[in-house]
Homo-oligomer: A and B are copies of this chain.
């Protein structure tokens, strides 16, 4: 994991825009980000966080794709897949400073902006109105998590994949099938068979 690169201006810009969706922020907040954020570069397959470690950071994906996954026996269960302009972290480990339950891994060469939880709390203290943004961001985070959980609760493999196609279409021709299968909670083989079935029907 390489840190301490110069941060491309448009990366900060994209982060700012993503946050402004919730409410406008004063320039001082933007400056705060510029001062407290650092760039993390990952090559494909590299781990951003390993289960058992404490995840002390929030990450904003500037470029690339990252997945969260947990180990069940010797298998992976992918819990989420995120791409550029999305935020990722391990919520459960963040505020309790507990060891993370899940792993985070780049599945493409990826650039991230990172802010430590400590700095984030400083941000909340310095700019109380940022708590609103934090709250709204978490609310969105929650809704997204619900959508993912919905897939995992579906019983039928074809239904899962159809849902995936309609809600995550931007990933369907970008992410390897093994990750998609794992995200859907089915095997690669089952996914392959579902795909054939659907392509025949069309």
Contact = CB atoms under 8 A, between A and B. Distances in A.
Contact of A135 (B72, B131, B146): B131
Contact of A155 (B72, B131, B148): B72
Nearest to A95: B139
The interface residues of chain A, by DSSP majority, are classed as: helix
A142 B138 CA distance: 8
A101 B163 CA distance: 15
B92 A153 contact: no
A49 to B, nearest CB: 15
Given A72-B153, A142-B142, 11 more contacts: A72-B154, A72-B155, A79-B149, A79-B153, A91-B143, A94-B139, A128-B131, A128-B132, A135-B138, A145-B145, A153-B185
